[in-house]
Amino acid sequence: MTKPGEQKPQLKLIATRSFGESDELYRVVDFLNKTLKHKKVLFGLTKDGKTGEMMISIYET
């Protein structure tokens, strides 16, 4: 939690990639976040509600 007057850490978007719908992608993203946390990267996963397309985003923390 940040204190008053303190800036929040910024995330820098490195890359994104779209994939077809897959329940396994959640597990892959979780694995990558746990394994590569020390490398100061963060993986995000979003799903388009209309098309079902999933997108993985990679951020530098």
- Does residue 7 form part of some domain? no
- Does residue 52 form part of some domain? yes
Q: What is the mean pLDDT of the chain?
A: 92
Q: How many domains does the chain have?
A: 1
The stretch 26-52 carries a mean pLDDT of 96
Q: Collect all residues with Cβ–Cβ distance below 8 Å to 19 and sequence separation of at least 6.
A: 25, 53, 54, 55, 56
Is 90 exceeded by the pLDDT of residue 9? no
Is 80 exceeded by the pLDDT of residue 45? yes
- Does residue 40 form part of some domain? yes
Provide the pLDDT for residue 1. Answer: 58
- Does residue 51 form part of some domain? yes
Residue type, 54: M
CA distances from 12 to 9, 47, 54, 60, 61 (A): 10, 20, 20, 5, 7
- Given the structure tokens 């993203």, which residue do they identify? 29
- Does residue 53 form part of some domain? yes
